[in-house]
Structure 1
Amino acid sequence: MARRDVTLKRIAPLSAFRVGLAFSLIGLVAWLLALCLVWFGMDMAGVWDSLNSLIGDVGGGITITFGMVLSIGALFGAIMAVLMTILAPLLAVIYNAVVDLFGGFVLRLTDY
């Protein structure tokens, strides 16, 4: 059984950007699917009809629709995806700076 230690000393910011972008887009799709499932589950339970009648009783002219909830959810998800994509290379730069001071991750690889 061969064993070898490898130290991760640098992460390329462009590589971190690409991975962050991929994960952000996958997370955005998962967020929108979850939002749709929650909407339809609450719609089957009658929550939205009750909420819309409550808003109408208090004098509000707004009705909560699927399009409104999906639009707000998509906007929130897109903002979070952009922020996560921007943070990925920034964290890679911070990691590279810290590694220069303290050293990197040591990974122990073994063959079976």
Structure 2
Amino acid sequence: MSDRETTTRVRKRPVPPPTADTAERAGLGQQLKEKLATAVESGRTGESKDVARKGRPVRRARLRLTRIDPWSVMKTAFLLSIALAIVTVVSVFIVWSVLGAAGVWDSINSTVQDIVGGDEALTFDIKDYLGTSRVMGFTIIVSVVDIVLLTAVATLTAFLYNMAAALVGGIDVTLTEDR
């Protein structure tokens, strides 16, 4: 045998020659062709479990998730929580602007003046308590706290998952190729 025949193309490691007690199996492609031929000969009209609609085999991979990198989880959680904070600030601003344009604050002021009455009610303005600047300031503070907390919780969750996976082996995942 030449050196070229005893090495594989991928890793260039020598392949041991087959011995008399080693059974040679057909490749995966050949096995799938045989299964397909058997299914066709037996007259099955439905699809085989291992064959896609167009007669091509479906590739499957069973994987086990044993470790999650906490650093990448922290970076991803940080970016997603920043995006959530931006969405929160913008949505609160839009809601408060719509409520102001709809006249809700003037309606609340007139309702309070009708209920309370007197001179003190004439000076009451709901915007002194729930003005846009106060609400936006509060929303920004809550968003910053959420960024810190969500990042910390996601990173802690990655550490806890890694410890649990070290004990029980992780989560088994089966992936199939959709063609």
Do they fold alike, i.e. is TM over 0.5? yes
Total equivalences in the alignment: 112
- The CA deviation at 1:46 is 1.8
Letter of the 1:101 partner, please give it. L
The percentage of aligned residue pairs carrying the same residue is 28
Structure with the bigger percentage of strand? 1
Structure with the bigger percentage of helix? 1
Counterpart pick for 1:86 among 131, 152, 166: 152
The answer on 1:22 being equivalent to 2:79 is: yes
Residue deviations 1:60-100 (CA, integer Å, cap 9, x gap): 68713211110111111111111101111111001111112
Counterpart pick for 1:2 among 56, 59, 77: 59
Query: Which segments of 5 or more consecutive residues in structure 2 lack a partner in the other structure?
Result: 1-57, 114-119
Q: What TM-score do the two structures reach when normalised by structure 1?
A: 0.85
In the TM superposition, 1:1-112 aligns within 5 A as 1-51=58-108, 54=112, 57=121, 63=128, 64-111=130-177, 112=179
Higher RCO structure (Cα 8 Å, ≥6 apart): 1
- The CA deviation at 1:33 is 1.2
Q: What TM-score do the two structures reach when normalised by structure 2?
A: 0.56
Residue deviations 1:20-54 (CA, integer Å, cap 9, x gap): 10110000011011101210121122222344564
User: Considering only aligned residues, what root-mean-square deviation do their CA atoms show, in Å?
Assistant: 2.3
> 2:106 and 2:81 mapped to 1: Cα distance?
33
Query: Which segments of 5 or more consecutive residues in structure 1 lack a partner in the other structure?
Result: none
